[in-house]
């Protein structure tokens, strides 16, 4: 991590991080413009390159920052005592949406990073992605699938609700009505509905 960058005021840090997340998420690494990033952040190009030597350095920084931030949210928003599939799903979605309150494009940036095809980016993200994957795996490993009604496929239910949450977040983001708390409420409503149906059906 860039120690000098964190000496800046938090408001300026976040403006620069959010600008980079937005431009990289919308355009991908190859087509992202540092001119657009500094314009979005309201800072000079000289200041940006004072802290990040080039576009690659900036991308690597915001990627590392994002996986660490998301992993931290997962660790603080989930409980080691919870084993119920549906409650764990709620906690994971709470962590994700809590992160995007401060960094609206963070999840979209991480999703877009999976599509990158630049060699230096692929090598860097492959190493760093493990941190977030391990944090997610640690939470998912707590799920007690045996507590579900007989005949219910917990892994399929998990995947179905995970995809539904992803789709809802993307839909709300695209129609400019994205408010993290409202989207979380919607997602929790879907999870609760499926839980009721699962226990009623089996």
pLDDT for res 173: 84
Q: Domain extents for the chain?
A: 5-201
pLDDT for res 1: 63
Q: What string of H, E and C letters represents the secondary structure of the chain?
A: CCCCHHHCCHHHHHHHHHHHHHHHHHHHHHHCCHHHHHHHHCCCHHHHHHHCCCHHHHHHHHHHHHHHHHHHHHHHHCCCCCCCHHHHHHHHHHHHHHHHHHCCCHHHHHHHHCCCCCHHHHHHHHHHHHHHHHHHHHHHCCCCHHHCCCCCCHHHHHHHHHHHHHHHHHHHHHCCCCCHHHHHHHHHHHHHHHHHHHHHHC
Q: What is the pTM of this model?
A: 0.89
Which regions in the chain score pLDDT beneath 70?
A: 1, 201-202
pLDDT for res 41: 95
pLDDT for res 202: 55
pLDDT for res 201: 61
CATH number assigned to the domain covering 5-201? 1.10.357.10
pLDDT for res 3: 74
Q: Tens of pLDDT along 168-201? A: 998 888 877 788 999 999 999 999 999 998 887 6
pLDDT for res 200: 77
């Amino acid at each position: 991590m860039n120690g000098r960058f964190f000496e800046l005021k938090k408001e300026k840090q976040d403006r620069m991080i959010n600008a980079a997340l937005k431009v990289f998420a919308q355009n991908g690494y190859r087509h992202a413009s540092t001119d657009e990033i500094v314009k979005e952040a309201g800072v000079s190009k000289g200041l940006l390159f004072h802290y990040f030597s080039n576009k690659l350095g900036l991308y690597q920084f915001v990627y590392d920052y994002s996986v660490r931030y998301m992993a931290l949210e997962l660790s603080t928003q989930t409980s080691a005592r919870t084993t119920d599939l549906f409650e764990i799903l709620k906690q994971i979605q709470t962590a994700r949406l809590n992160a995007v309150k401060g960094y609206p494009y963070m999840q979209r940036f991480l999703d877009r990073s999976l599509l990158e095809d630049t060699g230096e980016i692929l090598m860097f993200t492959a190493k760093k992605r493990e941190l977030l994957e391990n944090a997610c795996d640690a939470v998912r490993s707590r799920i007690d699938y045996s507590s579900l009604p007989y005949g219910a496929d917990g892994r399929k239910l998990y995947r179905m609700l995970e995809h539904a949450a992803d789709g809802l977040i993307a839909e709300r983001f695209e129609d400019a009505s994205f408010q993290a708390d409202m989207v979380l409420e919607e997602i929790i409503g879907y999870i609760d509905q499926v839980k009721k149906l699962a226990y009623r059906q089996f």
